[in-house]
């Protein structure tokens, strides 16, 4: 049986204290305790880990855009959808068209989740302030 993921969402504060998810832009080895240091432009774009960790880090050296043009900009929102999948506990897909495929090309917009990626995912009953 799939494990239920529950997050507490709180706005208006700065810093990680009490947050289930930390989102930020970082360079190189940024001290998150994993061997996933960023490598400058191209290759490693971001990484995320499900709670109890909850880190969601973008590589600050990439050229991020919500409307990427050409082959030098990365779609911030496409990568966010992918990384939020990891925050929910999803792994990579072997389907190259899937949002959870392990790679995305520069200039590509891929923001739609195929609901089959959630097969076996157990939704939670949420209280106010949770999602």
Fold for the domain defined by 1-131: Collagenase (Catalytic Domain) (3.40.390)
pLDDT score, position 63: 95
Q: What is the pLDDT along the chain (131 residues), one digit of tens a residue?
A: 345 555 555 554 555 566 778 888 999 888 777 777 888 887 889 998 876 788 889 999 999 999 998 888 999 999 999 998 888 888 888 888 888 899 999 999 998 876 665 555 554 443 444 33
What residues are designated binding site for Ca(2+)?
20, 39-40, 59, 62
What residues are designated binding site?
20, 30, 32, 39-40, 47, 57, 59, 62, 82, 86, 92, 100
Domain boundaries, the chain: 1-131
Active site residues: 83
Full DSSP string of the chain: -PPPP--B---S--SSTT-S-EEEEE-SS-SSSSS----SSSS--EEE-TTTT-EEEEETTS-EESS--TTS-EEHHHHHHHHHHHHTT---BS-TTSTTBS---TT----PPPGGGGTT--PPPP-TTB-
pLDDT score, position 116: 60
What residues are designated binding site for Zn(2+)?
30, 32, 47, 57, 82, 86, 92, 100
pLDDT score, position 7: 57
pLDDT score, position 59: 93
Encoded tokens for 34: 């994993």
Full DSSP string of 105-117: -TT----PPPGGG
pTM of the predicted model, to two decimals?
0.76
pLDDT score, position 123: 46
């Amino acid at each position: 049986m799939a494990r239920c993921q529950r997050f507490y969402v709180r706005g208006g504060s700065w810093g990680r204290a009490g947050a289930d998810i930390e989102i930020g832009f970082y360079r190189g080895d940024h001290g998150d305790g994993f061997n996933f240091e960023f490598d400058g432009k191209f290759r490693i774009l971001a990484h995320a880990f499900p709670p109890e960790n909850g880190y969601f880090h973008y590589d600050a050296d990439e050229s991020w855009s919500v409307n990427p043009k050409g082959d030098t900009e990365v779609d911030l929102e496409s990568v966010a959808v992918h990384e939020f999948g990891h925050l929910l506990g999803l792994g990579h897909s072997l389907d190259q068209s899937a949002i959870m495929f392990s790679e995305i090309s520069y200039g590509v917009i891929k923001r739609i989740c195929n609901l089959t990626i959630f097969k076996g995912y157990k939704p939670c009953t949420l209280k106010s302030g949770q999602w």
